[in-house]
A and B are shown apart, each in its own frame.
Chain A
Amino acid sequence: EDKVVQSPLSLVVHEGDTVTLNCSYEVTNFRSLLWYKQEKKAPTFLFMLTSSGIEKKSGRLSSILDKKELFSILNITATQTGDSAIYLCAVGLNYGGATNKLIFGTGTLLAVQP
């Protein structure tokens, strides 16, 4: 059974702290790993990773994938209260042909206190 596991489940930090969120997976037909941020309702796209060892960066957020050890991390530096959200990791599976599906992890609830 395909599985995506995130840790920690929840995290409380203070503004300015650096956080690292973890995502590990056991799936067949791996295609990609994606990170989403869910604040209220709609998950919003952060990163998509397909190659090992290549860091993707966007402002204070960065992410990297290790396809040998089957995990990814999402780093947030100098956290702000606006970073408070649920961070979802998802693995894209090749379902056959051009069709794909995403399997989501359990999510990490991040709370940034002033």
Chain B
Amino acid sequence: DTEVTQTPKHLVMGMTNKKSLKCEQHMGHRAMYWYKQKAKKPPELMFVYSYEKLSINESVPSRFSPECPNSSLLNLHLHALQPEDSALYLCASSQEGATLSEKLFFGSGTQLSVL
């Protein structure tokens, strides 16, 4: 069982909708990540938060807006998405600054469909 919880598991939204994806972990990890995975493709990094501060933004369009309210929570706010944004959105966390910090723990993802 994953210790990273993502909600909702599935989301269908129109191009004019505003929605949010949520991610929560209680492992005391101080780094959290958003990845996007299209079908039959590897996960692609979107954002990295380190100690609740945005440390990496992989040139993601502004219609995706991340937020890290505290060390356990990570949100991804969605607005005016396009059909090509349909994908599995994976959240992950890791121990920042420790030897095993590349060891990411992934949530089960949110399967997003944009109509």
B59 CB → nearest A CB, Å: 13
Q: A98-B96, A101-B56 are in contact. Are A42 and B2 (CB under 8 A)?
A: yes
Q: A99 to B2, alpha carbons, bound, how many Å?
A: 23
Find the residue from A95, A103, A104 having the highest chain B CB count within 10 A. Answer: A104
**Bound form: Cα–Cα A99–B107 in Å:** 20
Asked whether B102 lies within 8 Å of A102 as measured between CB atoms, the reply is yes
In the bound complex, CA of A92 to CA of B92 (Å): 14
Option from A88, A90, A99 in Cβ contact (under 8 Å) with B50: A99
User: Count of B residues near A, CB < 8 Å?
Assistant: 27
Most buried by B among A31, A95, A98, A106: A98
Chain A binding site: helix, strand, loop or mixed by DSSP? strand
Determine if B103 is an interface residue (Cβ-Cβ < 8 Å).
Answer: yes
Q: Count of A residues near B, CB < 8 Å?
A: 25
Max count, chain A CB within 10 A of own CB: residue among B4, B101, B102, B105: B102
B45 and A101 within 8 A (CB): yes
- Please indicate the chain A residues that have their CB under 8 angstroms from the CB of B55 in the complex: 95, 99
Q: Is A73 part of the contact surface with B, judged by Cβ < 8 Å?
A: no
| A41 contacts partner chain B, Cβ-Cβ < 8 Å | yes
Q: Which residue of A lies closest to B88 (CB)?
A: A41
What are 29 of the A-B contact pairs (CB < 8 Å)?
A34-B102, A34-B103, A36-B106, A40-B108, A41-B111, A42-B2, A42-B90, A43-B43, A43-B90, A43-B106, A44-B2, A45-B103, A48-B103, A88-B42, A88-B43, A95-B56, A98-B50, A99-B31, A99-B48, A99-B50, A99-B56, A100-B101, A101-B56, A102-B45, A104-B42, A106-B41, A106-B42, A107-B41, A107-B42
> Which 8 pairs across A and B sit closest by C-beta, in order of nearness?
A92-B102, A104-B42, A98-B97, A41-B108, A41-B109, A42-B106, A42-B108, A99-B55
- Chain B interface residues toward A at CB < 8 A: 2, 4, 31, 41-45, 48, 50, 55-56, 88, 90, 96-97, 100-109, 111
Interface residues of A (CB under 8 A from B): 31-32, 34, 36, 40-45, 48, 88, 90, 92, 95, 98-107
